[in-house]
Structure 1
Amino acid sequence: MKMIMTQAVLPAMAVLGLASCADSSADKDGNGIIDSQERAAEMDYDAFIPMKPGLWETNFVFADINVPTLGKAEKQRIMDELAKSASSQSCLTDAEAKKPGADFFGGTGAEKCVYKAFDISGQNVRMKLSCGMDSMGSVDMELAGVMGETEFNYDSTLDVRLPMVGKVAMQGTARGKYMGACPAS
């Protein structure tokens, strides 16, 4: 299954060349990490509202990037490039839409992510996760917003940590919208 959020963000960080506090709402064993079983239990417990199966389009817009050495035009160019890279389309099957896998929000590369908070309460979603980007560094993300049957809207804060650059802070939003039936493959 293709992701709607993190799959878009991790490849976008590669374009730059260049992301946390623990929450225990879903952390049943108290170790500060919410594993896939705890995320699945949280989705069951908090009555996740199913999404509509079909084609979904995600658009990511970065509102701010903190790179003191870059000018305003350079920052805007990077944010535009990241937004272009992060925007995507994906199809949800009937089964995935009724109950997305616990790693639905992690997508490609989710095996490199550690969830520190994961709270789904009806349409409200809040999560914190840290993801490795191989030798390129890591990204810490905090996502909060509302998910509905045909759209979602998340505010996000990202801290990208790069070996040679240090920390780059970014803020933005991700908006997803149901577009209709998936194209025939």
Structure 2
Amino acid sequence: MRLPILPLMALSTALALAGCGSGKTVTATNESVSDVAKKVSDAGLHFNPGRWESTMKFVKLDMEGMPPEAKEMMGKMLGKGRTFASCLTKEEAEKPDAKFFGQADERCKYDSFSMGGGKIDAKMTCKAEQGPQTMTMVGNYTADTYQMTMSINGMGPQGKAMSMQMDLSAKHNGECTGKEEGKSGAVG
């Protein structure tokens, strides 16, 4: 099964939200990913550079007309985490660009975005091959950690209604090792 574009961008978006800014808040309504990235950067919300270990766990996955075999396979994935490591450079941490926040090609826009005081609340709409998809993100962050719940609704393969929910968490884990990109392993 090919996943919609939103889950593929989830890790980079979530990592971007791990910023810390003493009392700074960024809000946006009906703005592009690049405009929101610029607002966050201009607000001076800084991120801790180095190695980040993120875990993504599927909590719910429903798809209209899913064959029983596929449902069973998906059921086995629910509740199991996948851990990914990434390296955030000092430059990326100080001045994140639109790619850091997800789809830089502007297929996505934030319907609403609020980040400040250790809380994130956002709703994003993307134009996917199958049709529009909506993602909501709600969570908490510090300079070194984040926890977030993401819900995605839209059309899946063959134009069937689809919804999924993921829990994301991450922690800063020291200096980059050079082995972060593309490395992942199962947890939980």
TM-score, structure 1 normalization: 0.67
List aligned pairs for 1:1-185, cutoff 5 A: 9-10=7-8, 25-27=27-29, 33-35=30-32, 36-41=34-39, 44-45=42-43, 48=45, 50-67=46-63, 69-70=65-66, 73-79=72-78, 84=82, 87-106=83-102, 111-133=106-128, 135-162=129-156, 164-184=158-178
Size of the aligned set, in residue pairs, is: 156
What CA distance in whole angstroms lies between the structure 1 residues aligned with 2:77 and 2:105? 24
TM-score, structure 2 normalization: 0.66
SS of match in other structure, 1:182: coil
The offset of 1:68, in angstroms, is 5.5
The offset of 1:98, in angstroms, is 3.0
Give the percent of matched residue pairs that are identical in Structure 1 and Structure 2.
25
The offset of 1:136, in angstroms, is 4.5
Q: Which runs of 4+ in 1 moved over 6 A?
A: none
Name whichever structure is richer in strand by fraction: 2
What CA distance in whole angstroms lies between the structure 2 residues aligned with 1:110 and 1:122? 29
CA RMSD of aligned residues (A): 3.2
Q: Which residue of 2 aligns with 1:19?
A: none
CA contact (8 A) 1:43 1:102 kept: no
Structure 1 unmatched runs, 5+ = 1-5, 13-24, 28-32
What CA distance in whole angstroms lies between the structure 1 residues aligned with 2:89 and 2:52? 11
What CA distance in whole angstroms lies between the structure 1 residues aligned with 2:77 and 2:132? 18
Structure 2 unmatched runs, 5+ = 11-26, 180-188
SS of match in other structure, 2:140: strand
CA contact (8 A) 2:133 2:154 kept: yes
What CA distance in whole angstroms lies between the structure 2 residues aligned with 1:52 and 1:89? 14
| Structure 1 residues 73 and 168: alpha-carbon distance in aligned structure 2, compared to 1, 3 A threshold | same
